[in-house]
Amino acid sequence: MESVVAFFEQRSVEVAVREFPQILLIHASQMNADLMPDLLAMFRRRGYTFVSLEHALRDPVYQRPDGFIGKGGISWIHRWSQTSGMPGKSEPDSPKWVQDAWREMAEDPYRVAPDNYHFVFENEWARASRVTFRPGDKLPVHQHPSTPTTVYVYVTDGGPIRFSHVTGENVAGLSIVRKPVRAGGIRFAHGAPETHTVEYLGDVPTEYARIELRTEPIDRPVRDVRLPPEPAELSKSSRSVRFENGQVRIVQLTCAAGQMCAGNAAEPAVVVTMSGPHRGEIEWSPGPAQGPLEQVRIELKSKPVNDTKH
């Protein structure tokens, strides 16, 4: 902030040949409230006193012609310089750490699209979200950070979705429409970082589980793995390994009425319930559950990438 104040002090002399009473616009926010004592102390240190808006506007400088026409609410000093034909000058950029923190917060899907991205849990092994769309939903720009791999489990049928990518490996600047999906389908994908907007083009609501894995991507496939739905018969118990590599084992588990659903207790797992009243529920290594029940289990075979104990 002090670098911006110094910029306008210098620019005042360049545009109006002298310094004059400045008008400071401060938005009402918790951050500004918390930092107000430091901000006022900085102004006093630079020799400022505080007057009313009416007092400041008595200075003849505010009678200068203003020929600016545009959408942006730019400073009076910028308006006067443009009107007089002076070359423009940009204000100082915020420090990189401020820009990075702001961008991360501003593009967090849980913040910008809380009706669509629902946080479930997060630990050193994985982060899980329930993602829901309604017909006509349009999500603003948001970012998905880099992870070793990501598993999508489609809980319901879903229509096409348009992803308009701002950044992303081999997709930056492209608008890509994901084809309709069927309940029970699974996608195992690279966890490359992406920034995009999203528009749901389907005519029925849809839901899927998004599971970002943070474990060592041993034998990661070159291309995404797409597994079609596999019919489940809840009248009998079954266990089908849909995909396996050095990182994960994706299992479809069906348990008949009265039977217990239990996975491989030796390995941690993310479990998505695919039937019954808890359909769509995502759990971290839950205990046995009683059938009739269908589950998709993502059993984690490798260790977290930040695990230094193994």
pLDDT in tens, 185-236: 999 998 888 889 999 999 999 999 999 999 999 999 989 999 999 988 888 9
Q: In the predicted model, what is the mean pLDDT of the chain?
A: 90
SS3 143: strand
Helix (H) or strand (E) holding 45: helix 30-45
pLDDT score of 123: 96
Peptide bond into 292 cis (omega under 30): yes
User: Strand pairing partners for 199?
Assistant: 138, 162
CB 269 within 8 A of CB 212: no
Q: How many domains does the chain contain in total?
A: 2
- What is the SS3 string spanning 67-114? CCCCCCCCCHHHHHHHHCCCCCCCCCCCCHHHHHHHHHHHCCHHHHCC
Given 35, 70, 92, which residue is the final one in a domain?
92
Read off the DSSP letter of residue 257. Answer: T
243: domain CATH number is 2.60.120.10
- Claim: this prediction has a pTM higher than 0.75: no
The helix-helix angle for 2-16 and 30-45 (nearest 10°) equals: 60
What's the pLDDT at 40?
93
pLDDT score for 105? 60
Same domain, 136 and 182: yes
pLDDT of residue 103: 60
One domain, residues 194 and 272:
yes
Residue 131 has pLDDT above 90, yes or no: yes
| Minimum mean pLDDT range among 77-91, 234-248, 265-279 | 77-91
% pLDDT > 90, the chain? 66
Q: Please indicate, yes or no, whether residues 33 and 118 belong to a single structural domain of this protein.
A: no
Same domain, 237 and 286: yes
Question: Which tokens belong to 93?
Answer: 């950029």
Q: State the pLDDT at residue 99.
A: 62
Same domain, 118 and 38: no
Question: Are 51 and 155 in a shared domain?
Answer: no
Q: Which domain holds residue 41?
A: 2-92
CA torsion 83-86-90-91 (nearest 10°) is: -70
What angle in degrees, to the nearest 10, is found between the helix axes of 76-83 and 2-16? 30
pLDDT at position 310, please?
38
pLDDT reported for residue 214: 96
In a domain, 10, yes or no: yes
Tally Cβ neighbours within 10 Å of residue 51.
10
* Residue 294 CB coordination number (10 Å): 21
